[in-house]
Amino acid sequence: MLFVGINPGVRSAITGHHFAGYSNRFWKLLMDSRLVPEAITYEDDYRLPEWGLGITNLIARPSRGINDLRPIEYTEGWKVLERKIHRYRPEVVALVGVTLYRAISPALIGAPPAVGQRRGILGLQSETIHGARIFVLPNPSGRNANFTYREMLDAFVHLRKGCRGGL
């Protein structure tokens, strides 16, 4: 399974680790959903392959927020991500955030999903990327006020149950 974020935040760039923001709940969600068998933090991101997991970003450049990203960065990032998926052949690509899914969906289906379907987009999608199933998760950033922790956890549990089986 490959987790894909949009781009690193400033703290992730400083620490050199994914989802390192102080209020980011990604690592807690991995543990609470039992996608990993023990509590880990951003400093343990190198251990994800032990559990058949990988992590990357669509855009490598760090920013304070997605509003700082340029459209060309999404296009170029998609080309790199598609090559990674083709090379590593994950069974599942877990897109971390509805915004990320909206950004790459034109490349997948030719058009972005309808606006206003924020909650309906979560979960397993009908599209695939080089045979990998696509699963959309809520963004676990502390800035994401669109989902409660319970809703995020439910999505991560659904990912585990539907795409991986139990640990």
Give residue 71's pLDDT: 85
Determine how β-strand 92-96 pairs with β-strand 132-137.
parallel
93-109 pLDDT, tens digit each: 999 999 899 888 877 76
The secondary structure element, H or E, covering residue 163 is none
Question: What share of the chain has pLDDT > 70, as a percent?
Answer: 89
Q: Give exposure, 27-65, as e/b (b: 16+ Cβ within 10 Å).
A: bbbbebbebbeeebebeebeebeeeebbbbbbbeeebee
Give residue 120's pLDDT: 64
Give residue 107's pLDDT: 75
Whole-number Å distance between alpha carbons of 44 and 30: 12
* Domain ranges across the chain: 2-164
Specify whether the CB–CB gap between 91 and 39 falls below 8 A.
Answer: no
- Mean pLDDT confidence for 147-165: 90
The secondary structure element, H or E, covering residue 32 is helix 26-32
At the fourth CATH level, the homologous superfamily of domain 2-164 is Uracil-DNA glycosylase-like domain (3.40.470.10)
Whole-number Å distance between alpha carbons of 126 and 8: 27
